[in-house]
Amino acid sequence: MKPNHPRALEEAWNHEQSGRRDQALAALRALLEAEPRCAEGWTDLGGLLLLQGRREEAEQCCARALREDRGCRTATLVLACSLMGSGHLDEAERLCRGALARDPGSLDALLALGKCLIKKGDLAQARTVLQRAGELGPGGRGLSRVLQALFAAQDDWAERRRDLERALPHYSSQQHDYEEASLCLLHGEFDRGWELYESRHGLPGSNSPVRHFSQPAWNGEAFPDRTLLLHWEQGLGDTLMFVRYASRVKRLGGRVLLLAQPSLADLVATCPGVDQVIVHLADLPSFDLQSPLLSLPRVFRTSLDSIPAEIPYLDVPGQVPNRQAIAAVLAAAHGRTRLGIAWAGSPTHTRDKQRSLPVDALAPLGALSGVAWYSFQKDQEPPASLPGVFPLAPLLGNFSDTAYALSGMDLVLAADTALAHLAGAMGIPTLLLLPYAPDFRWLLGRDDSPWYPSMRLFRQPRPEDWSAVIRMVLRKLGAS
């Protein structure tokens, strides 16, 4: 007896929404064994496989769905999202635009196209598309499937799973606000950008944890004789960048606590304005007010002209576990210019494929003379093209070690990583290597950073063109 399509699909959907992904997969496979021409079943199976990181299988399922139903919008968009994740942006854009041509009012197609255009660096068109999306309301299960696919395409979304079904009635506007915030900030439109950026909290796929404190959020008022907790969110680089606000916070009140990632604890304790660093929620002392670090630009109404850019605001901690060993390696430069390098960030970062350089791209840097190279890169061997490079990574047990090693550099060359933020926060001259579509904090069309006065920016002139960036660096350093 053939299964009832709606009932079988609903059973699989309920399994998935309850976290029973294996049962959902089994239900869909049973349906498709009995009804191999069920396009919606192939679509849902493809979406589930994509969430598990099984991209090739997911794409095969979506392609099969489209063979059965050429107009299946959800299959088209899940396939597009998968292609985005593997860097096939032109094909993903073509699919998104095809879905929109068939249904110009499709919210999920607009969101997917907007995400694709942002990845491609076509920010003006992305903004127009997302403005259209912001005028529409949520669209039910099809939208839910596409939203899950969007986040699976850019991150290990399954590790950060939220109750998407519960959030769905508000989600489309929240996603729109978040994407528009990033575009506003990228264009230097800080007034609107910081307000909209508050939409990041609780966004599916976001790495901004939602902490449900009973204490009220701080909104910039004076707080004498009271205690304020600042708490980290997102990545290590974000903490290093936005902890700069602690000194401004301190001027308005009493005690300032900072909840920080354990690996940063000793380092961020050197920041002016921080009275105490805590690394575990269970160890928090009593406090009266709280604020996430990345909400402080909004609280202080930060504009391009009022960014707190006094550097250095971080220093080498008193306790450096590997101080002597690092000092010995630094001394081996023998009078040459010490040049630190890091070309790749964490592979789990949502945009790592865009922001990290392949090691082969560094080969032309070997033409520089009078340089002692120091590799800060972890989990990768230093490139053989850099003569006599010293691998520092084995000595960098924590960020105290890293800060001490950085303090010995004459210049740092880095991709968009936590190391670049630390070098900038310490006031060390830094050459930052940026993808064509950068993170919002690096703005557009400028080679300096108002956040880090000691930093110079080198941008890809077109997507994936790291060779041009390296040529710019060589010209800057007088090697060509």
Condensed to tens digits (0 to 9), the pLDDT of residues 172-206 reads 567 778 878 888 898 899 999 999 999 888 666 56
In this structure, of 228-237, 242-251, 373-382, 450-459, the range with the lowest mean pLDDT score is: 373-382
Token pair listed for 187: 């264009």
What domains does the chain contain, in order, with CATH numbers? 33-200 (1.25.40.10), 223-299 (3.40.50.720), 323-476 (3.40.50.2000)
pTM over 0.85: no
In this structure, of 130-134, 147-151, 322-326, 330-334, the range with the lowest mean pLDDT score is: 147-151
In this structure, of 29-43, 224-238, 281-295, 455-469, the range with the lowest mean pLDDT score is: 29-43
**Mean pLDDT to the nearest integer, 275-302:** 96
| Whether the predicted pLDDT of 450 surpasses 60 | yes
First to last CA, the chain: 74
| Whether the predicted pLDDT of 149 surpasses 90 | no
| Whether the predicted pLDDT of 304 surpasses 90 | yes
Split at pLDDT 50, 70, 90, the class of 155 is very low
**Mean pLDDT to the nearest integer, 454-478:** 93
Q: Residues 50-64: pLDDT tens digits? A: 777 788 888 888 888
pLDDT at position 160 is: 36
**Mean pLDDT to the nearest integer, 370-394:** 90
CB atoms within 10 A of CB 433: 27
Higher pLDDT: 185 or 41? It is 185
Residue 447's Cα: distance from chain center in Å?
Answer: 21
In percent, how much of the chain has pLDDT > 90? 50
pLDDT at position 183 is: 84
pLDDT at position 30 is: 75
CA-based angle 70:72:77, to the nearest 5? 115
Question: Coil, strand or helix: which one is 150?
Answer: helix
pLDDT at position 1 is: 39
pLDDT at position 221 is: 97
Q: Up-side HSE of residue 26: CA atoms within 13 Å toward CB?
A: 5
Judged by phi (left if over 0) then psi (alpha if -120 to 50, else beta), residue 117 lies in alpha
Distance, CA of 85 to CA of 81 (rounded, Å): 6
Is residue 303 within 8 A of residue 451, CB to CB? The reply is no
Is residue 319 within 8 A of residue 266, CB to CB? The reply is yes
| Whether the predicted pLDDT of 144 surpasses 80 | no
Q: Residues 228-247: pLDDT tens digits? A: 999 999 889 999 999 999 99
Split at pLDDT 50, 70, 90, the class of 295 is very high
pLDDT at position 166 is: 43
Residue 339's contacts (CB-CB under 8 Å, 6 or more residues apart) are 368, 371, 372, 373, 374, 409, 410, 411, 412, 413
In this structure, of 195-199, 380-384, 419-423, 469-473, the range with the lowest mean pLDDT score is: 380-384
Q: Residues 397-435: pLDDT tens digits? A: 999 999 999 999 999 999 999 999 999 999 999 999 999
pLDDT at position 350 is: 61
Distance, CA of 271 to CA of 337 (rounded, Å): 28
Dihedral angle over CA of 204, 208, 211, 213, nearest 10: -120
Split at pLDDT 50, 70, 90, the class of 142 is low
The mean of the pLDDT values for the chain is 85
pLDDT at position 347 is: 67
